[in-house]
Chain A
Amino acid sequence: MTHEQIIETLEAAFAGQLSDCDTAHGISSITIPAAANLKVLQFLYDSEDMQFRFLTDLTAVHYPNRTNEELCVVYHLHSLYLNKRLRLKLYVPVAAPKVFTASKLFSGANWMERETFDFFGVDFVGHPNLKRILNVDEMDYFPMRKEYPMEDPTRIDKDDEMFGRGGTIC
């Protein structure tokens, strides 16, 4: 099955719900509606022709300029049967970033979703243990969002003058 055939099979099953289908650098990228993520993942998992049964990666990207669609959750799937990769993207608003959890289908999605929650604040509905994983539990912001600066402006123990900086770092 070629990349185009994979996209056609998906479009046949999910008519009108897919958008931005693109194949570049050896991988097809498809945008799906946020509420349909489990349906699409289950369809790809169950399909005997495609067998996308390996979740390579799950992460998010923050696009502050896309109003009402700021957070993009990205799934990278792999079919060991076809030896092809597939990228699924869905967009959720930053005000209510709710996405159904894929951890029932892929056990590996458990920590990947925790990491995405930790850094972007995406709320995975139905996740068994949605807590921060890499950052301290007391953190109350989501550091990978674009509005958060790289350095912590609330630290008072670092003397920026000694680091060759004036004091405010962007």
Chain B
Amino acid sequence: MSAHIHLDEASIQKQTTTLNLGPTHPATHGVFQNILEMDGERIVSAVPTVGYIHRAFEKIAERRPYYQITPLTDRLNYCSSPINNMGWHITVERLLGIKIPKRVDYLRVIIMELSRIADHLVCNSVIGVDTGALTSFVYVFEFREHIYEIFEAVCGSRLTTNIGRFGGFERNFPQEAFDKINKFLEAFPRGMKEFESLLTRNRIFMERTMGVGGISAERALNYSFTGPNLRAAGVDYDVRVAQPYSSYEDFDFQIPVGTTGDVYDRFLVRNQEIWESLSIIKQALEKIAALEAADPSQKEVFYAPEADKYHLPPKEDVYTKMEALIFHFKMVMGEIEVLPGEIYSAVEGGNGEVGYYLISDGGRTPYRLHFRRPCFIYYQAYPEIIQGSLLSDAVVTMSSLNLIAGELDA
């Protein structure tokens, strides 16, 4: 093809080697290409190429009614897709001014924290895999499977969940879902402790990851880092605390912060975030139980009553009542009114601030929808981070940044 790879002068004179850490590579998780200039084993410079999984979501979103955009958001950060779904629903609810009942908020928090745990489990175990420790990866997936089963009990899908509706959920959580969540809360701490005992104070893992891939807080802020990568560098910015959504202000949790921003710090920050997420889920279940004890009718609350216009009616009504049938038809065909407006709304995803910039002109589809994707923004810093490091360090750094190709390219 006509796009030529530019070979550095030094490479032609055999002072440096050009190495293609190609798009298909077992160590790059997702399709990422980096053209590295190597001086022996050290990296002199790196040129990343992205866009291998670009699927034109923003263009597609301009042609889809609001409900049909939720499956697109699934596929952004597909390791924690419920967070993306709910971020989108929260964006539209803020634009429409819908107030969400507390029980719905707490249920959303449970689902979002479960998906955050799933995302961090993948990232941390994969850092282990890249240093050669395969056991922890395989072991931790048992708990990811439990989380998948919880999602399946709530919405029917495991990975790309399309969970929830504007105003809440499509149906109440079955008792089976609550049983699975309770079983998960009992079984997971033991598993997480075993995972930590394999890696956290492991001499080899520490030497592979400490002092590797570090970034200072000033550079990280200048590169618009968010999420665990920024917190590992020392800045305690978390969207759940700074701009609380979905009743996060009712919860008591801490934000783990690192110091040097290296791979080990990111590993520890994500581990601690998993423990904090567990604590949040426990608090949410207690709060729901308290709501239901005070008012037993709360058990049936799974969406906001004022979002009736945006919520598919129950099937019994659709088949028997005329208004419900009309509503159902109009919603599925996308004829729901969204007033003109412009909003930027963000949630704390597995990788940082996932933002939705929505411009609505009153039509059935958005006029412009832009996803602020944290992975895309912090991957820019990768060449600066790995400059001067060894090739093996570059691989470990890439996996510690938790680059999810779907979110990078959208």
What is A's interface to B at a CB cutoff of 8 Å?
Answer: 24-27, 29, 53-57, 59, 61-62, 74, 76, 80, 83, 85, 87, 106-108, 110-112, 115, 119, 133-138, 143-144, 150
The complex places the Cα of A111 from the Cα of B224 at a distance, in Å, of 11
Of B111-119, B186-194, B269-277, B368-376, which stretch is located at the interface? B368-376
Query: Mind listing 14 A-B residue pairs with CB under 8 Å?
Result: A25-B94, A25-B341, A27-B343, A57-B357, A83-B242, A85-B344, A107-B380, A107-B381, A111-B379, A119-B58, A133-B50, A134-B51, A143-B56, A150-B59
Query: Is A54 touching B59 in the complex (CB atoms < 8 A)?
Result: no
Q: Which residues of B contact A133 (CB under 8 A)?
A: 50-51
Please pick, from B223, B242, B343, B409, the residue contacting A108 in the complex, using a CB distance under 8 A: B223
Tally of contact residues, B, Cβ under 8 A: 44
Residue of A nearest to B222 (CB): A107
Whether the Cβ atoms of B357 and A76 lie closer than 8 Å is yes
Closest beta carbon of chain B to A147's beta carbon, Å: 12
Tell me if B221 and A56 are in contact (CB < 8 A): no
| Smallest beta-carbon distance B87→chain A, Å | 14
Residues of chain A within 8 A (CB-CB) of B344 are 25, 27, 56-57, 76, 85, 87
Contact B95 A25 (CB under 8 A): yes
Chain B residues with CB below 8 A from A56, complex form: 224, 344, 346, 353, 355, 372
Interface hub of B51, B58, B224, B235 (most chain A Cβ within 10 A): B224
Residue of B nearest to A25 (CB): B343
A108 touches B377 (CB 8 A): yes
A157 to chain B, nearest CB (A): 17
Assess whether B237 is in contact with A57, with CB atoms less than 8 Å apart: no
Cβ–Cβ contact A111 & B355, under 8 A: no
> Min CB distance, A144 to chain B, in Å?
6
Report the tally of A-B residue pairs with Cβ distances under 8 A: 93
Distance (Å) between the CB of B188 and the closest chain A CB?
33
**Per-residue A-contact encoding for B318-355, CB less than 8 Å = 1, 0 else:** 00000000000000000000000111111000000101
* Contact B224 A110, beta carbon cutoff 8 Å: no
**Within the complex, what minimum Cβ distance (angstroms) separates A140 from chain B?**
12
Closest residue of chain B to A116 (Cβ to Cβ) is B370
Question: Chain A nearest CB: distance from B248 CB in Å?
Answer: 14
Q: Which one, A24, A26, A57, A111, contacts B372 given CB within 8 A?
A: A57
Nearest chain A CB to B19 CB, angstrom units: 20
Q: In whole angstroms, what is the CA distance A135 to B56 when docked?
A: 9
Q: Which residue of B lies closest to A118 (CB)?
A: B51
B297 within 8 A of A: no
Closest residue of chain B to A85, judged by CB? B344
User: With an 8 A cutoff between CB atoms, is B99 at the interface?
Assistant: no
Which residue of A has the minimal Cβ distance to B378? A108
> Contact between A112 and B377 (Cβ–Cβ < 8 Å)?
yes
* Contact of A134 (CB < 8 Å), options: B50, B63, B237, B342: B50
Closest 6 CB pairs of A and B: A108-B224, A134-B51, A134-B54, A137-B3, A57-B372, A25-B343
Complex alpha-carbon distance, A76 and B346, angstroms: 12
Instruction: Judge if B219 is at the interface, Cβ distance under 8 Å.
Output: yes
Verify B3–A111 contact, CB threshold 8 A: no
Which residues of chain B are near A110, meaning CB under 8 Å?
380
Measured between beta carbons, the chain A residues less than 8 angstroms from B3 are 136-138
- Closest Cβ of chain A to B221, distance in Å, is 6
Kindly state whether residue B12 has any CB partner on chain A within 8 Å. no
Q: Are B376 and A111 interface neighbours, CB within 8 A?
A: yes
Residue pair B223, A24 in contact (C-beta under 8 Å): no
Whether a CB of chain A sits under 8 angstroms from the CB of B13 is no
Report A150 CB to chain B, min CB distance, Å. 5
In this assembly, does B60 line the interface, its C-beta being within 8 Å of a C-beta of chain A?
A: yes
Query: What is the bound-complex CA distance between A115 and B58, given in angstroms?
Result: 12
- B355:A24 contact, CB within 8 angstroms: no
A55 and B353 alpha carbons, distance in the complex (Å): 12
Residues on B with beta carbons closer than 8 Å to the beta carbon of A136: 3, 51
A74 adjacent to B357 (CB under 8 Å): yes
Q: Is the CB of A135 within 8 A of B54?
A: yes
Q: Which residue from B50, B95, B372, B409 sits with its C-beta under 8 Å from A76?
A: B372
Which residues on the A side are within 8 Å of B343 (C-beta)? 24-25, 27
Q: Is B359 positioned at the interface, with any CB of A under 8 Å from its CB? A: yes
Least CB distance from A138 to B in Å reads 6
Inter-chain CA distance A168–B94, complex, in Å, is 37
Q: A57-B370, A108-B223, A133-B51 are known contacts; what are 16 more A-B pairs with Cβ within 8 Å?
A: A54-B224, A56-B224, A56-B346, A61-B367, A76-B357, A80-B235, A83-B242, A108-B222, A112-B377, A134-B50, A135-B54, A137-B3, A138-B1, A138-B3, A150-B56, A150-B63
Q: Which residues of B are found within 8 Å of A83, using beta-carbon distances?
A: 242-243
- The closest CB in chain A to the CB of B225 belongs to A108
Residues of A within 8 A of B342 (CB): 24-25, 29
Q: Contact at A24–B60, with CB atoms within 8 Å? A: no
Chain A residues in 8 Å Cβ range of B345: 25
Whether A54 contacts B368 in the complex (CB less than 8 A), given A25-B341, A133-B50, comes out as no
Contact among A27, A55, A106, A135 for B51, CB-based, below 8 A: A135
Q: B2: CB under 8 A from chain A?
A: yes
Q: Given the complex, which residues of A lie within 8 Å of B56, measured CB to CB?
A: 143, 150
